[in-house]
Structure 1
Amino acid sequence: MTTALAYEDDPYVLPVPTPDTPVVLPRWISPGNTHPNSHFRDPVWSLAPLIDNPGATLITIHWKNCPAPLQGEMKRVVWSLINGERRPTYLRSKGLSARGRVSASTMLQKYCEWFRLANWLHQRGITHLADCTADVWRAYASERRDEGISRVHAEMVIGYFTDLWVYDQLSTCPAGISRPPWETEGIDDLLPAADGTDSAENSTEPLDPQVMGPLLVWALRFVDDFADDILAAWTEQRRLVDVAVNNTATSASRAALKEYLLPLVDTGAPLPAVHVKGRLYLARDYVAAHTGATHTQIERLVKLHGLQDLVVQRPAPCPLDVPIAGKIDGRPWREYIIFGEATTLMQHLGTAAAIVIVYLTGMRPQEAQALRSGCCPDPEPADDSTLGRHLIRSRHFKNVLDEDGNHASAGEVREVPWVAITPVVRAIRVLERMVPEGELLLSAAHHDVHRFGGRQFQGAIRRTSLNRRIEAFVAWVNREAETQGLPDQAVPEDPHGAIGMSRFRRTLAWHVARRPGGLIALAIQYGHMRTVLDTRTTSGYASRSRRGLHSVLDVETALAAAETAVRLRDRAAAGEKISGPAARRALTAAGHAPRFEGRLVPKTFARKATKFLARDGIVLYDNPDAFLICAFKHDNALCEPAPGATAPRQYACTPGCGNTVRTDTHARQLRRRAEEIDQLAARAPGPVAKRLRANADRLRETADTHDATAQSIEALT
C-alpha cells in the first residue's frame, strides 16, 4: 500500500501501458499535429505526433528489429522514453544542457542503441533486462568502444545506456535494469584514448567557388528567365491531362483518333512520343487531348497497328502550345517545351528557387522548409515614397525550448526577420505561384509533380530529397550547358563531395564576413546576435571548433588581410605617400605579406590562417568605410576589442587610434566623400545641412592632415 501511494504521489512515474494505450499520450501532442497515433500493441510505432517541424523526417519504430524475448520489457522502457520526463534531481547532475524531454530525433538515437544492446544480449542467451549486471554493462560498453567509434561518440552512447536505466525507473512496473557501474566509477576507462582528433568540429565544407558560381547563375536563370515559360507549360500540360482523363468514348472520337494517327503510320512519319522512366511510349494523354479519344480507344489502336514498336523506331516530340520568352545570352532557351518535359522542368524550378533562397539568406535548411506563402510581403511605402526592405518572417528551430525548458518541435517565429534581397524575393514569388495561398513554399504534396493522384505527402520536401533534387538539377544544367554551347557554365564536381542543402549557409558566411561590418551582418541575418557582443570568443555560428564563428572564417580573413598588405605595398611602390602613427609598422608588414593569385586553399590552411592573424601589430585590415587601413595592435586599439581578439571592431573605428594608416588614395576618397555630403547638404533642411557640412569639413581636415604628414616609402624605411 505504501508503494502504491508513493507511485500515485510521484508525478514522474508512468502507469503500465495496455495494448490499446496510444504510443504518444495526448498531452505531448500539439493541437495542430494531425499525424495518426499508433497503439502499444502495434508492430510499428510512429513518432510523427511528436514532430511539428514541417521539414523533419517522420520517425517510426519497427519492433521486428528487437529480439522477441526482450520486446515486452523494451517496449515499456521505450514507451517511457516517449512519454516520460527525467527527474530534475537527475538532470542537475548532468549539467545545464540536460533536458527532461528530448526531441524525436534524439529518441531515435537512443532506442537504436538500446535495440543494438538487446540483440547483443539475445546472442548471449540473456532474455531479461534485469540480467544486465555490472559485468555485462562493462563488457558491452568495452566492446562498443572497440568498434572504432570516436571518444565523443562513445561518451554519447554510454549516456544512452544510462538513460535505459533512468527511463526504466519511470514505470510502475520497471524491468529492473541495474544501474550502470560507470555512474559511480566514472566512464574514462570505457572511452577510447584521447588522441587530439576529437574536437567536436563541424566538418561541413563551404562549396567551392567554381561550383557555387555557375550553380547560382543557372538557379537565377530559372527563377528570373525561365519561370514564366515553365509555369505556363506546366499549366498547359495539366490542362491536356485533365481533358484526356475526362474524354468520353464516341464514334466521333474514334474517327478523330484514326484520322490523327493512321496517316502518320501509313506515311512513315514520326509518332508523338514521351519518355516514361527512360523508355519511349506513345503520348497517350497528348493524343487523347487533341482527338477527344479515350485511353481505351487509343490502347486498342496501339495493339491493332503495333504502334509501340513504331514509336520506338520513329519518335516525335509533342510541343506544348506555349510561347517561349526566356533567353540565354540573348537567344531563346527553347524553341518549345514538349509534353512531359514540363514535369521535369517544374521540379528543377522548385529546386532552383530553393537554392537561391537558402544561399542568399543564410537560412538553415529546416528554416527554408518552414517558409509559407505570404512570408515575405511587399513593404509599405515610407513617408518619402521610398520602399523599405523585404523581410521574411518565419520559424526557426535550433535550440528553441518550450516553457518547461524542453525541445519545442514546432520552433518559434524568429524574432529578427531575414532580410530578402531582390533575387530572393523573386524566388519566393515563383514558389508562391507553385503552391496554394498559405501553404509551405516547399510543400511535398505540391512539388511532387511526377505524381498524379495516389499518396498525399505531408509537410515540406525532406532534406534528403532536396539534396537528390540538387544533384539532378546539376546533371540537367551540365547537359543543357553542353547543348547550348556553354561549356564554361557547367557545374564542376565539388572537391569535398555532394552538394547538400547544409553547405550553402556556410558558403555564404565565408564571403560575407570579410567585408567591414560583415560579422554584424552575419549576426543579424543568421540569428546569432551574441556574436556582436564579442567578435571572437562568444560567437557561435557554424564553427569548425568550439572557438566560434571566426574559426571557420579565419582563412578568408587572412586572405583579405594579405590582399590589403599587397595593395599597400603596390601603392607605396607606385609613389603614393603614407601617413598615420602605424605607417612604418604597416610598411614592414606589407613587405613580408604573401601574395595570393586567386588560388584555392585547402581546409588544412585554417590553422595557418589562425597563426597568421595572431601576429599582433603586423596584420593589416582594410576599412573602406573609415577610409583607412588598421595595422591592428591590441594594446593601441581604441575600438575596445575583446580580450584576446586578433581583429579590430571595424564598425567602432575611432579617430586618433594608434593603429591608423592612410595613403594618398584614402585622402582622395575622403575629399570625394566630402563633396558628396556637400551635395546632400545643399538639398537638406537648415539644421541637417549644418551637421552634414560639419561632417564634410572633418573629412577634408583628415585629408589635409594626411597631405601635411605623409611620407614616401624611402623616408619611412
Structure 2
Amino acid sequence: MTTALDSWNDPYVLPLPSSESPVVLPQWISPGNTHPNARYREAVWPLAPLIDNPGTTLFKIDWTGCPALFLVEMKLATWTMINGRLRPTYLQERGVRARARSSASDMRDTCNEWIRLANWLHERLFTGLADCTEDVWRAYISERLAGLTRNHAARTCARLTDLWAFDSLSAQPCGIARPPWDIEGVDDFLPAADGSSQRENSIEPLDPQVLGPLLVWAIRFVEDFADDIFAAWDERRRLTAAAAANRGTAESLATLSEFLLTRVQAGDPLPAVLCRNQLGLARVYISARTGASLAQFDSFTQQRGLSALATERPGPCPLQVPIAGRVGEIPWREYIDFEEATVLMRHLGTAAAIICLYLTGMRPQEVQGLRSGCCPDPEPAADGTPERHLIHSQHYKNVTDDDGNHVSAGEERTVPWVAISPVVRAIRVLERMVPEGELLLSSAHHDIPWQRSYHGALKNSALNKRIEKFVRWVNREAASLGLPDQAIPQDPHGSIGMSRFRRTLAWHIARRPGGLIALAIQYGHMRTALDARTSSGYGSRSRGGIHSVLDIETALAAADTAARLRDRMNAGEKISGPAARRAVTAAATTPRFEGRIVPRTFAKKAAKFLARDGVVLYDNPDAFLICAFKHDNALCEPEPGATAPRQYACQTGCGNAVRTDTYARQARERADEIDQLAAATPEKIARRLRLNANRLREIADTHDATAQPAKVLA
C-alpha cells in the first residue's frame, strides 16, 4: 500500500481531488477539444474531453448505479484512472499490449466493471473495497466469469486487476487486495478455450450474392444518380427558403386557390407529404409553387377542410429538375419528389461510404476520420502519365504516445492509401455534401435536412442502420424497375455491418480473381498496390494492417485449392502442365483447413506458409488452371518479393501452370458458349471470339494429350 509520506516523492501518485476538481485534468485535454468537462461532485462524468476521434461516441460515467457505501472509493479510483498513469513496472509484466492510459471507451467499460463488483459486494453486506480479500475475489470471479467466453473473461480479469493497480496510485488507497489471478496466473481462472472469438478474423465475409448488387447500386448512385440528387436537393432547399420568405398578397391567394381548387374539383390527387406518420398537404411545396405565405396556406386550407382530402387522394410533389441518370437504357426516374430528395441525399451519402469502406481496405474508424481534401488530384508525371490518387488519413487503432498513453486523435498514416476511380468519385460526392476541411461523414452535415450540431462523424450504429435502409430502398427500386435479379438478398450470416467490409475485401481478393466487375476492380487495386508491401508499416508501430488479413485469407484459399486438387486426383482425375509434379507434392503435403476460427498467431503462420516458393497452389478459374507459384518462373510479372501471382495477368506458357481434367472440360464448355455468342455478333468481333474459342479447345486438347495420373508424377 502507498502511504501519504511515499506520495510526496512518487510521480505516479495523484493528490486527492476536491469536490470542485475537474473530472479530466487540463493536461489530458487536447487544445482543439471543446467538449464540456464536469466537477468531481457531479453524478455524471462526461469523458468527451478525452475523445478526439470523430468516429467515437461521446461516452460518460453515470454514478447513479453505484451503491452509496462504495461511491467515495469508486469515484477516487476512477478519477485516478482518468488522470493517472500505470507504473512502467506494472506494464512490463503484462506484455506489449498494456497501456499506461487507455481510451475513454475502455475507461467507461472498466468503471462499469468496478461498479458491478461494488453491487455484488453491497448485496453481501460488505461495506468497503478493503473487504475484498483474496477469498472474496475467488468467490466473486467464479460467479462473474460463468458463461463468458475466454476472451471476455480475460478482459474482465484485467479490468478488475486495474482496480487494485489504480487504488495503489491514489493518495488515499482503500486497501483492496491484489487479485489472486494476478499472482498465480490468469489461465487457471479462465473458462476453457472453446474457439469463441470476436477478433477481426472471426467476422464472416459478406456473401458474394449480397456484395455484388450492393456494390453495383452504390457505384450507380455515385456515378449515375448523384448529379440528379444534388440538383433535386438544391431545388428542395430553394423552395423551402422561398416558402419561408413569401409574403401573402391577393395575387398569391388567387394563385393558391386556383392551384388547389382546380385539382379538388377535377378529383385529381393533391400534393401530399408524410409528416409524423400521417399524410397531409405539402404545405411548403405548395406555398413555394404558388407564392403564398405559409400563414396564408394554413388559413385557406383550414377554412375549406382540404387536409382530409390529401389523405384520401395523396399526390406527388415533383421537383422541376431534369433527370439524366439511367439504369440500363431507361431513366431511373420520371421525376424526383420534394420529400424524396431528403431520402435520396441520405442514401447518396451511404452509397459513397459503402464504396470507401469496401474498395480501400480501411478500418471503419479510418473512413470516419476522412476529411474533405484528403484525396487531392495528383500532378501529372514528367512523362505525362497520370499519377495515382492517394488518400491521406488518420489511423486510430493502438496509437500511443512515447509514454504508452492512448492517443484518441490517432495519427496520420505514414503511407497514404492508393485510391481507385470509384473511391475517388465517392470522395468527390462526399466533398459536395460537407464544407471544405470538414469530416466527409460529418454527423451534423449528414443529418439531412436538419443539420443539427452532432459531434464528429456518423457512428457505426448510425451507418449500420443507414446501410440496411439503403438495401431496403434498393430492393423496392429494383422491383419497381422490373429488375428483380438486381435485388440485394438477405445475407446468411446476418445484417450488413461496417466491420464486415474489410474482412470481405480480403476474402474476395484471395478467392475471387474474376467474376463480378466489382471484384475485378478491387482485385486489381489491392494486389497491384499492396503486394509489394510498400505500405506494410500501416502507419504505426508493429502493425500488419490489411496485409495480415489478406495473408490469412490467401493462405486459407491456397489450402482449399490444395485440398480440392488432392480430392480430384484421388477421384482419378489426371493433371498436366509444366508444374504438375510440384502441384502433386504440394497437394500431398498441404494440410486441409477445417473450420473458420483463426487464432491471433495464424497471421505469422500464414505469411510463412505463403513464402514456400514453388509449392503454394493458387486457383485461377478464369484461366482454367491452378498456379503452382514459383516467383522466378512467373510470366505475370509479380513484384519483387511477392508470394502470390497476379492472377488477373496470367500468361499462356507460364512454367507455373497446372491443369486438371475438370478445367479442360470447363475450357471446352466455355468455348461452346463463346461460339454461340459469336453466331449473334458482327463478323469482325465474331472472328475474334472464334479465335478465343479455338484457343481454349487447343488448351483442352493439349491437356488430354499430356495429362498423367498423380501416382505417375509422385
Coarse TM-score class (shorter-chain normalised): 0.7 to 0.9
Q: Does 1:288 align with 2:287?
A: yes
Aligned partner of 2:557 in structure 1 is: 556
More off after superposition, 133-142 vs 410-419: 133-142
Task: Tell me, yes or no, if the aligned pair for 1:351 and 1:470 is still in contact at 8 Å.
Answer: yes
Deviation sequence 1:107-126 (CA, Å, 0-9, x none): 12211111111111222222
Q: Specify the alignment match of 1:597 in structure 2.
A: none
Q: Which moved more, 1:271-280 or 1:339-348?
A: 271-280
Pick closer, same or farther for the CA change 1:301–1:482 going to 2, 3 Å.
same
Does residue 84 of structure 1 match 2:84? yes
| 2:706 partner amino acid | S
Q: Does 1:503 align with 2:496?
A: no
TM-score (norm 1): 0.79
Q: Equivalent residue for 2:177?
A: 178
Give the match for residue 107 of structure 2.
107
Separation (CA, whole Å) in 2 of partners of 1:343 and 1:322? 15
| Conservation of the 8 A alpha-carbon contact between 1:392 and 1:417 | yes
Instruction: Give the superposition deviation at 1:511.
Output: 2.3
User: What letter corresponds to residue 224 of structure 1 in structure 2?
Assistant: E
Q: Distance in 2 between matches of 1:623 and 1:261?
A: 65
Deviations 1:330-375 (A, max 9, x none): 1100010010100000000000001111111111111011111111
C-alpha deviation, 1:254, in angstroms:
3.5
Q: Are residue 476 (structure 1) and residue 470 (structure 2) matched?
A: no
State the Cα deviation string for residues 67-113 of structure 1 (Å, max 9, x = none).
23322221111111111101112222222221111111211221111
Alpha-carbon distance in structure 2 between the residues aligned to 1:209 and 1:474? 15
The one-letter code matched in structure 2 to 1:381 is: P
Superposed displacement of residue 470, structure 1: 0.2
Change (3 A) 1:160 1:278: same
Aligned to 1:347: 346
CA distance in 1, matches of 2:373, 2:268: 50
Query: For residue 487 of structure 2, what is the amino acid of its counterpart?
Result: A
Amino acid at match of 1:102: S
Structure 1 unmatched runs, 5+? 594-600, 640-646, 654-658, 666-709
Counterpart in 2 of 1:467? 464
* Cα shift at 1:620: 3.7
Q: From the superposition, tell whether residues 616 and 26 of structure 1 become closer, same or farther in structure 2 (CA, over 3 Å).
A: closer
AA aligned to 2:707 is I
Q: Which residue of 1 is the match for residue 707 of structure 2?
A: 713
CA–CA distance in structure 2, aligned partners of residues 207 and 566 of structure 1: 27
Residues 1:205 and 1:526: Cα distance change in structure 2 (over 3 Å): farther
On the 8 A contact 2:23/2:40 being kept in 1, the answer is yes
Shifted more, 91-100 versus 336-345: the winner is 91-100
Mapped to 1, the partners of 2:642 and 2:26 lie a distance apart of: 53
How far is 1:450 from its partner? 3.8
Deviation, structure 1 residue 387: 1.3
Alpha-carbon distance in structure 1 between the residues aligned to 2:629 and 2:436: 53
| 3-state SS of paired residue (1:257) | helix
The CA distance in 1 between the partners of 2:58 and 2:95, in whole Å, is 29
TM-score (norm 2): 0.79
CA distance in 1, matches of 2:4, 2:442: 49
| Cα distance between partner residues in 2 of 1:48 and 1:649 | 45
Question: Matched residue of 1:281: which SS?
Answer: strand
Q: 1:313 is matched with which residue?
A: 312
Residue 123 of structure 2: aligned partner:
123
Q: Aligned partners of 1:542, 1:492: CA distance in 2, in Å?
A: 30
For residue 95 of structure 1, give the secondary structure of its aligned residue in structure 2: coil
- Deviation, 1:58, is 1.1
1:142-187: per-residue Cα shift (whole Å, max 9, x none)? 11122x0022322221221111111112221223323223333444
Which ranges in structure 2 are unaligned for 5 or more consecutive residues? 514-522, 600-604, 634-640, 648-653, 661-703
Aligned partners of 2:487 and 2:420: how far apart in 1? Answer: 25
Give the superposition deviation at 1:554.
3.5
Q: Which amino acid aligns with 2:16?
A: V
Q: Distance in 1 between matches of 2:175 and 2:397?
A: 36
Q: CA deviation at 1:621?
A: 4.0
Query: Which residues in structure 2 correspond to 1:131-210 (within 5 Å)?
Result: 131-146=131-146, 148-195=147-194, 202-210=201-209
Which residue identity is paired with 2:554?
Answer: L
Residues in 2 aligned to 1:275 and 1:527: alpha-carbon distance in whole angstroms: 50
Deviation per CA, 1:184-209, whole angstroms, max 9, x where unpaired?
Answer: 34444432234555696732111110
Instruction: Give the conservation status (yes or no) of the 8 Å contact 1:360–1:508.
Output: yes
> Does 1:36 pair with 2:30?
no
2:455 to 458, 463, 466: 458
The aligned runs of 1:591-606 (5 Å cut-off) are 604=596
| Letter paired with 1:96 | V
In the alignment, the residues of structure 1 paired with residue 495 and residue 337 of structure 2 have an alpha-carbon distance, to the nearest angstrom, of 30
Partner of 1:224 in structure 2?
Answer: 223
Aligned partners of 1:494 and 1:103: how far apart in 2? 33
- Alpha-carbon shift at residue 266 of structure 1 (Å): 3.5
For the residue of structure 2 that corresponds to 1:431, the secondary structure is helix
Alignment CA distance shift 1:564-1:385 (3 Å): farther
1:509 offset after TM fit, Å? 1.1
Give the superposed CA RMSD: 4.0
Match of 1:21 in 2: 21
> CA 1:358–1:617 in structure 2 vs 1: closer, same or farther (change >3 Å)?
closer
Aligned-residue offset at 1:325: 0.2
Q: Deviations over 1:365-418 (max 9, x none)?
A: 110111111111111111112210111111111122112222111111111111
Question: In structure 1, what residue type is equivalent to 2:431?
Answer: E
Task: Spell out the pairing of 1:205-354 with structure 2 (5 A cutoff).
Answer: 205-354=204-353
| Change beyond 3 A, Cα 1:530–1:660 | farther
The 1:333–1:16 alpha-carbon spacing in structure 2 relative to 1, beyond 3 Å, is same
Taking a change above 3 Å as real, the CA distance of residues 126 and 393 of structure 1, as seen in their structure-2 partners, is same
Report deviation, 1:492.
0.4
Query: Is the 8 Å Cα contact of residues 256 and 292 (structure 2) preserved in structure 1?
Result: yes
Contact map agreement 1:512 1:521 (CA 8 A) in 2: no
Distance 2:586 2:188 in 1: 50
Among all aligned residue pairs of Structure 1 and Structure 2, give the percentage whose two residues are the same amino acid: 58
Q: Which residue in 2 is equivalent to 1:379?
A: 378
2:210 counterpart letter in structure 1:
V
* Structure 1 residue 36: Cα displacement: 1.4
- In the alignment, residue 43 of structure 1 is paired with which amino acid? A
User: Would the aligned equivalents of 1:555 and 1:605 in 2 still touch at CA under 8 Å?
Assistant: no
**Offset of 1:223 from its aligned partner?**
0.3
Q: Mean Cα displacement is larger for which, 204-213 or 4-13?
A: 4-13
CA offsets 1:598-626 (integer angstroms, 9 cap, x no match):
xxx9965999xx99x899987644799xx
Distance 1:165 1:605 in 2: 34
Cα separation, 1, equivalents of 2:594 and 2:338: 46
AA in 1 matched with 2:315: A
User: In the alignment, residue 56 of structure 2 is paired with which amino acid?
Assistant: A
Shift of 1:293: 2.5
